[in-house]
Structure 1
Amino acid sequence: MMKILIIVTNIGNYASGNLKTGLWLSELTHIYHAAKEKGYEITISSPRGGNVPIDPESLKHFTLDKISEQYWSEGDFRLLLENIEQLAALTQQEYDLIYLAGGHGTMYDFPDDSTIQSMVRNQYEKQKKVAAICHGVGGLLNVKLSDGEYLIKGKSMTGFDWFEETIARRKRDVPFNLEAAIKERGADLKKAFIPMTSNVVVDGNLITGQNPFSSREMAKVVIEQLEKK
């Protein structure tokens, strides 16, 4: 049985304190649903454990797709997100996939988290799959491999770009420019031709999705990559 670890944020507010943020729901529900249908063993965890804050923007009617709506209406699923395991307790576990879900909250607790960095590095160096979507790719920024190079250096990848941040009206609230940070690490950023449309990039064992609208395709591609013989 395939084992997958989905890492989510603990952060529910921007540093300004004026706006709420958290996990973008569809960036969890689609991979969760696809893995569940395959019978995979799924673990959801976060840097601090406990409750998972959900970005209220991701719960609005115009952003809720059928799969996200279905899971959000299930009491058991919401209960699951109220008390998840702390990531540090899982460092000795082996996974076929580590998946970094997004939401603006990840910009605060993913990039400098040493547990995320060590788990992602070990996963990647064991030739196993690492995936990240939207702002979740920020968790890859500071991962260095054993040779001292950044994991994403020279890799084709994607993530929420600066123009999309403009569309989302969050440029003044985010702690850094994710697009610029990805490029500074020497990665080859691949953007969707039309902003806020689906875009998934595969480079070996690294799989990245650009934005929430990539959630469905991302889940499909990740499963395909895991099932490859």
Structure 2
Amino acid sequence: MKRTLLITAITLVGIIALVLVLLPQILSWIGFHPAYDRVDYDLEGQRALIIATNHDTLGDTGEATGVYGSELTIAYYEFLDAGMTVDIASIEGGEIPFEPVSLRWPLTTHADKRYLNDEDAQTKTQNSLKIDNVNFLDYDIIWMAGGWGAAYDLGYSEVLGEKISAANAEGILLGSVCHGALGFLKATDVDGSALVEGRTMTAVTDKQVKELGIEITPQHPETELRRLGANFVSGTAFRDFFATYVAVDGNIVTGQNQNSSGETAQTLLRMLAEEN
């Protein structure tokens, strides 16, 4: 009997250990940060600007939040590895906070792990440029990262809206992922209408927000984009946390959530390469 119990216990421990080891891969299989097609581009001399939140607290809960790691890191390294110069900015400048769980096992991506060992990248996020002091017209790609923190500042910034408007008027490639799409809310098209009006776009869905129980945030991307007349599209899954979708409309490329970061960044790189 004791021998049987010992064997059973060892077997259960082994199974649990195996599941823990394979958990990141299992999550990928069901849709979390799925593999995406990559092409290596040579865009030396081109420039990318990544914009993220400064907001670090989830409402009045006291819980830490910020940018979702992979929504910044994946794009950062896709652009950097293509030979581009990559700057990082935020609404107020200075430190960009990260959603804590996004940089922890089992949710970390290869890009997150690379970031955690990259002093130069960390210096950029700890001392981000203030968007007021950045000329958006100096860049070939502008990327707005999401995370719950973005719901508190990107969509409310008049400065961001003005600068995105100016960049759009020059045909600069504009990208966002998840809550980053809120950065388009204050922007206008060349005719003065809302930039998102009539545009086919995606972002984190109301369904995902509800499923994660984070309805406390002041702006929900799907709701806001639809309110301004965007043609909102998205993928879905048994939980939208595992869904992904990328929408392209002219010079604007948007990704649904963290799972869409790689494909969205690669789409922007392809479009830039085709311009050159």
Q: What TM-score comes out, normalization by structure 2 length?
A: 0.79
5+ long unaligned stretches in structure 2: 1-44
Task: Work out the CA distance in 1 between the residues paired with 2:58 and 2:236.
Answer: 29
1:78-127 deviation line (CA, Å, top 9, x unaligned): 23221121111113752111111111111111112122111110111111
Deviations 1:114-162 (A, max 9, x none): 2211111011111111111100101112212242210010010100011
Alignment partner, residue 217 of structure 1: 263
User: Could you say which structure has the larger radius of gyration?
Assistant: 2
Provide the C-alpha distance between the structure 1 equivalents of 2:119 and 2:170, rounded to a whole number of angstroms.
Answer: 37
**Counterparts of 2:134 and 2:153 in 1: how far apart (Å)?**
17
The structure with the greater share of residues assigned to helix is: 2
Tell me by how many angstroms 1:70 deviates.
1.6
1:176 aligns with 2:222: no
1:142 aligned onto 2:183:
no
Matches within 5 A, 1:55-204: 55-91=99-135, 93-171=137-215, 173-194=216-237, 195-196=240-241, 197-204=243-250
Alignment-mate amino acid for residue 248 of structure 2: V
How far apart, in 2, do the equivalents of 1:141 and 1:75 lie? 33
Which amino acid counterpart does residue 18 of structure 1 have in structure 2? G
Out of 77-86 and 202-211, give the one that drifted further: 77-86
- Report the more deviating stretch, 131-140 or 79-88: 79-88
TM-score if structure 1 supplies the norm length? 0.94
Aligned-residue RMSD, C-alpha: 1.4
Q: Is the 8 A contact 2:137 2:166 kept in 1?
A: no
Identity rate, percent: 27
What's the offset of the Cα at 1:167? 2.4
Q: Deviations over 1:38-57 (max 9, x none)?
A: 11111101111111101112
> Which residue pairs with 1:8 in the alignment?
52
Residue of 37, 42, 45 corresponding to 2:89: 45
Aligned match of 1:35: 79
- Structure 1 gaps of 5+ residues are none
Equivalent residues, number: 228
